[in-house]
Structure formats: structure tokens, C-alpha cells
Amino acid sequence: MKKSQKPSVNRRNFFKSAAGAAALAGATPAAKAQQTNAQQTQAQNGRNTGATPAPTPEQLARDAGNVRPPATARAVTRPGSDLMVEAFRNLGLAYVAAQAGSTFEGIQESVINCPPTPNKMPEFITALHEESAVAMAHGYAKAEGKPMLALLHGTIGLQHASMAIYNAYYDRAPIVMIAGNDRGDIPSHTALDMAGMVRSFTKWDAQPKTLDEALAAIHRAYNEAVTPPQAPTLIVMDSELQKMNAPGFKLPPYKPPVFPTIDPSKAKEIAKALVDAQNPRIAVGRLRTPQGSMLSVQLAELVGASTSTTAANGPMSFPQRHPLQGPGADTNYDYVLGLEARGLQASIIGPDLPSIVAQRDPQGIGFGGLENANANGGRGRVPANSAPPTTADAEASLPMIIDEVKRLMTADKGRLVADRTAKHAAANQESHIKAVKLAVENMRGGWNGSPISTARVYAELWPLIMNEDWCLSSPTAFSGGHNVRIWDHNKPYSCLGGQGAGGMGYGAPASVGAALAAKDHGRIVVNIQCDGDLNYAPGVLWTAAHHKLPLLNIMHNNRAWHQEFMYVTFMAGVRGRGTDRAWIGSTLRDPYIDYTKMAAGYGMAGEGPVSDPTLLAAALKRGVDSVKRNEPYMIDVVTQPR
Amino acid sequence: MLGLLFSSASLHAQQGRGYTGPLPNNPPPTSPVTGDAAKGKSLFFNYSCYACHGYNGETGARIFVGNWGHLSTEQEFITFLRGRATIAPEPKSTGMPNFAENTMSDKQAKDIYAYIRSFKSNAPPLKDIPTLNAIVDAASKPSK
């Protein structure tokens, strides 16, 4: 990490004088001659007399319209921020989200005006809160498997964004952030070590002192963000670097990141075990990108392994309804490989957040106790008898294993694989149908109740989207998680999962980010939106409307922060003070909030409140039709508490 | 209310995964009811009962329609309400609170009991819910 040094001259005065000198230095000979003549004439006519000088011939000619205005030359012909935008483009950073701020106007101007115009790469996405900007990038990263940019305004923007950064850090979401820094402006908006405020929950930061360093930092920030453990990175970018003239600068060569892989001998060992196994299984967790999901499918199909998946709870895993996904025909597995998950005989798990805590948290703040995080790197309970993980990126390691499996595969083994695959497929299909039947049987409970059951919301929506390309962008735990049981999560982005650190205010902005990822693919995004969560920064609805994003918002409007409502109810009861005041501070009543009107205020169409269950399906249909036209939509559904 | 009786269903619902077993279908109790169901309705809301049991007793973290655990009689219900006083408030819980007599009288408890006893299963047969049948049909076909 590099830190800026205090400038040795007053930068504002420096730029003023530099601009004047540059203007003269860059002037054409004709302009110089004009200026010299005017100065001489003024000196002759007005010297120490105090009288108004007579007009010069040039002034007379100009008044008569007989001359052209003097040629001018701009002090800045190629701002440093144009080079930064070139770097963004080369890295494939498609979007930059920001709440307007005067410490990054150099970059903003370049994003919107750097040729060719109108500039769409990256496209500027207008946020109404820095937390929303980063949460958008969080949702985008999980849907697309790559970062987008967030611009933050000095110390104040960074602090506004900090909750979203914290969520993204815990969720291992790659985001590149740039915080503008203008040390000649408002003192409270700058700091000697601005990144220090978020250092213990970002992966890497820098404060470059020169444009060369700044451009290199952009490359490094991207690489650090996308390599495991994936996480947000931050550059504190001084405004002088954004605005300086840099006609002779070139982008430094970009070196793509190196992902840690298992060594070739380990790849051979795993491949041989998979090929020789009678009943192999692959446990697939969350891989880095859609490519990882595809590679896991390829490996499973090559060896006819049954698989498990996390696709119903988060992105980038194995397709849930793939014929090989499920317990399979025989649950006596003789070799279990874990990919970003624990396996019984082998586990490949990338470096996780605890591996960077010592470097990033020297003060020992210890957010979330990450330094003591469990051995599974935040991936849940470690299965009994599981193999110690090999620390490597599973996605980057898969091609080696696949190549080796192909080399070892024989015709005889191929026939065994085909036979095993067919048996697994039949068993998994049977198992799935049985599970769905059980789920829908349970969903009958409260089907006709009002307020509307959360199960009915998920059930009525599923037939409307099952033949579309869809993404469920919101966390679902507070609305019953009924998607897990009846929806098919077959794409790397089908379900984007939870908030990361459990910070509220995530659902709506992350969904906008997911919709950014979706809009160029003809995909629709469904956000089952908790009411308490939306009220943190509802202005993000305007962002969805402004940018015409395919986002369907369905309110889980139970008019409470319901988990807390239940906790307080329990507490009041066991303390013997009565539960009749437990609603205070944890419910949203008197008055109820009208989310359709809220959305309308931000320019988003919608309807509701819907509390009659017989009206729900038609409302959802109108919503799906709307977002298919890239017109975001809000349906305020008054729901049962859970 | 009536939470701890249905532990497996409750735990799953709290974790956001729902209860996946068949709906409970036990017949409702037939013991005498002496409370006022109309008064019980407002008490059911004011004492936050709906928070865990839904507005109809059929949804949420603690389903009791068709289950009826400690609801066999008024007295059993009241005993259950009072029986949680010794529960320590740690760790945090969405379990059944205690309802001490000084915060909910026997009369109020009986009114709530009367209201709960008026609940009937609102669940239509599966054959009458086209949406759910469509979901089962789709599950039977190869997925996209």
C-alpha cells in the first residue's frame, strides 16, 4: 500500500499558474501576435493617464465583425482520467455506479465524455446513495462473476458505503472501488489514510502518488478483487491525478491474475480416483464464475458422478436440475471430491478471508471474529471425516483434472459411466418429483389466507417465470425460502443468496446490480423484497426506473422487522412484562407504508397493496410482462409474517 | 404462541426453509370453550400471537391448525402459557414467550383460546389448486 505525501506546493495555485503558462505555451503564433499587439497598443494609449484608451484597430475590426476570435488552446488535452477510463475498458468493467461527488468529477467527466461518445463502456449508473452504489456492484458481481466499479466521494462517501462494503467482503464479492480525494477542497472530506476506515474489511487498497502508479493500481485492484479470496478493493484517487494533462502517457501493460491451482500430481491423483471409482460423487460449492459452473458439469458428466449443489442458496454452483444432481441411484459413494466444498477423499478450496486478516487487520479489530473463522472458511459446517482441503482455486484447477480424466478414460469405462449416469438420472428425477410433491402439499396451508402466505407468492410466481431466463436476486430466508423447494436453479445466477454479513438494506440495490447484469441478456430479475430492508435506501428504485432495468420487485410486506419482533416478544414474555407492547420499535404500522406510491414517486410502475390471494397471480403476470419490456415494476403484497 | 410443540417444523421455518412434511391434519379439540372469540381476536393481534403463528394459525414459524398440541383444553392452554417463566432470556429466541398472569389474565387467555378454536383449515385440496398442480407437472419434465 502506498500513501500520499503532503504536496510541497499549493496545488490550486499551481494549477492556476500552470494553466496560464500552458495556455500561452500552447497558443498558436497568430494568437501570440494578437496578444502582443494588444498589449503594446494598450501600453501606448493608456499609459499612466487614467484616460480610457482608444479602441485598437483589432477591436474596431472585431466590432465590425471582420475578424475571427483568437484561437485558443486547452491546458488539458488528455486528462489523466481518460487514461483511467481506458484502463476500465480494457479490463471489461462495464458499469460504474456512483452517487455524484465532487472528488471524482474528473473520472465522471471522462466516463461520460471520453471518446467515442456517447460512452457506454463503462456506462455511468446513477445511484442515490453510496451504499446503494456498492451494493449494486455486489449484486452485479454475484450475477455476472466479475466486478464493476463504484465511485465514492471522499471520506463521507466511503463511510456511507461502508456497510455495503462489509456485506460484500463477507460474501467474497469482487468489487473495484475508487474514492476521490481532493485535499485542496473541504478538509473534512479528506484524510491522510482514507482507506484505513475500511481496511479491515477490504482486500487491498492503494493511494497512488503519480498517474503511472494510479494506472497500475487500477490493474492491481482488479486482479486482487477477482482472485480468491474475492473481495472489494479500493483506490484512493487524488483529484490532481484525474485532472492532470497526460498527453504522453501510455497505459502500462496489463498482466492477468494468476489463480492458485493444485499441482499436476494432485490433479492426476484426483482424476485417477474419479475414473476408477465405482460410485464417485462431487460436492460443488460456490465457484468463481459461470465458467466454473460449466467446468464442474463437464467433469461430472465425464465420470458419471452424482453431485450436490448450493445453487438454490447462492450463485456459481452446479445446476440444480441437472440429471446428475441429487443423491443418485446409490448413496454408498466410494470417492467424494469437494469443489469449493468439503469432500470425503479430496477437497479443493480457495484461499478464504481468514488468510488475509493478518495483513488487513493489523490493529486487531477482528470484525466478525474472522481470524477465528471455522476451518471451512465460512462455508458452513465441516462434514465429519472430510478431507483436509487443498488450498487452491477449484475453478482454475478443473481444466487440469478434466484433461487428465479424458486421458484416462477408456471405452469400457465410458460404458460404465453411461450406465451409471442413466441410473443416477432416473433416481434423481424420482427424488425430485417426490420432494416437489411434498413441498406443494405443505404449501396448501394458508393458501387462501389473507394476508397472503409467502408460500403462495413463490408458488404463483414460478409458473410465470419457469420458461424465462430469470435471476432471483434477493435473499429469501425472511420470506420463507420457498424457492429452494419448488424452483429450478439451473443457471450460475439463478439464486444470488444472502447479504454476506447480514446487513439490511442490501436486497433492492443488489437486485439493481443483478438487473444491470441481466439487461443485455434478455434476462429478468426477481426481487422478493422485505419491507424493512427497502426502507434503508429506497432511492435505488429510481435508479432502476432511470436505467430501464428488467427488475420485478415483489414486496414481502409483513409490516415489521419480523425477526426482531419475535425476539422482543419472547424477551418481554420471559421477563414477565407482557407481550402487548412488543410491537413498539419493531413494526411498521400507524401508518402503513404504501410501497406502490413509494415506487411511483421514483418513477416506477406498480400496483398494490395486494392482500386478496385471488388477485395475486394476475398482478404477478402484469409484473413479469412489464419487466420483459425493460420496465421495472413494483407489486406491494401484504403478506403473512413468515 | 404454542411454539415449542412443533419443533422440527419450527426450526426449518425459522431458518427460511419451510416445513416440507405433509400438513398436520389432526381433528380439533372438542373440549368446552368459555371465552369470547371476538375479544380473543383483538388479543391475538395485540399480544403479538400472529407474529409466530400467522393470522390464521396455518402459516409462519409455528403452525398449529391441524396440530393442536397444548390446545386440548382451556386449562392445558393456560398452564402452557404460564409455564415458560423460568426460561432464561439467553440466547435470543423466537420460541414461545411466557404469559404471566399479571400480564394476561385467565379471562383473556380464555378469550384467545376461544378465538384459536374457531380456526379451521383453510387449505384447499391439492386438486383444486391449479398453480400447485402445474408445479408438480413441470417437475415431472426435464428442466431447462
**Residue range A177-192, pLDDT digits in tens:** 999 999 988 999 999 9
Distance CA A103, CA A270 (A): 52
Mean pLDDT within A389-409 = 97
A588 in contact with chain B, both atoms CB, cutoff 8 A: no
- Residues (pLDDT < 50) of chain B are 1-18
In a shared domain, residues A552 and A633? yes
- Does residue A438 sit within a domain? no
Asked whether the predicted pLDDT for residue A105 surpasses 90, the reply is yes
Q: Is residue A255 part of a domain?
A: no
Q: What is the pLDDT of residue A57?
A: 78
Please compute the mean of the pLDDT values over residues A596-621 and round it to a whole number.
98
pLDDT computed for residue A520 by the predictor? 87
Are the beta carbons of A201 and A138 closer than 8 angstroms?
no
Is the pLDDT score of A26 beyond 50?
Answer: no
Segment A292-296 mean pLDDT: 98
Pick A574's closest partner by Cβ from B22, B54, B87. Answer: B87
Chain A partners of B92 at a C-beta cutoff of 8 Å?
Answer: 567, 570-571
Q: Region A474-483: what's the mean pLDDT? A: 95
Q: What is the pLDDT of residues A54-101, one digit of tens each?
A: 888 777 777 777 766 666 777 788 999 999 999 999 999 999 999 999
Residue A486 and residue A373 share a domain: no
Pair A270, A239 in one domain: no
Instruction: Judge if A193 and A106 occupy the same domain.
Output: yes
Find the mean pLDDT for residues A45-59. 64
The CA distances from residue A100 to A137, A282, A442, B38, in Å, are: 16, 47, 49, 55
Q: What is the pLDDT of residue A351?
A: 93
Q: What is the pLDDT of residues A340-381, one digit of tens each?
A: 999 999 999 999 888 898 899 988 888 877 644 544 555 566
Whether ipTM tops 0.85, in short, is yes
What's the CATH code of the domain at A365?
A: 3.40.50
Give the residue-averaged pLDDT of A101-125. 93
Question: Domain B3-139 belongs to what architecture?
Answer: Orthogonal Bundle (1.10)
Q: Are residues A563 and A521 in the same domain?
A: yes
**What CATH number does the domain containing A612 carry?**
3.40.50.970
Answer yes or no: pTM beyond 0.80.
yes
Residue A548 lies in a domain: yes
Name the β-bridge partners of A96: A124, A149
Mean pLDDT of chain A: 90
- pLDDT score of A468: 98
Q: What is the least distance, in Å, from the CA of A442 to any CA of chain B?
A: 5
Mean pLDDT of A262-275: 98
Asked if the structure places residue A238 within a domain, the reply is yes
Average pLDDT over residues A141-168: 98
Q: How far apart are CA A540 and CA A538, in angstroms?
A: 5
Spatial strand order of the sheet with A123-126 comes to A123-126, A95-98, A149-153, A175-181, A232-238, A204-206
Domains of chain A: total: 4
Are A152 and A301 in the same domain? no
Distances (CA, A) of A539 to A473, A602, B38: 18, 7, 42
Interface of B with A in 9-48 (CB under 8 A): 13, 15-23, 46-48
pLDDT at A21: 42
Asked whether residue A3 is domain-assigned, the answer is no
Nearest CA in chain B to A462: B135
- Residue A47: per-residue pLDDT: 45
Most distant CA pair in chain B, distance: 60
Query: Looking at beta carbons, which residues of chain A come within 8 Å of B95?
Result: 570
pLDDT score, position A267: 98
Full domain range(s) for residue A179 = 80-243
Shared domain for A392 and A454, answered yes or no, is no
Does B127 lie at the interface with A, CB-CB under 8 angstroms?
no
pLDDT above 60: residue A444 = yes
Share of chain A above pLDDT 90, in %: 80
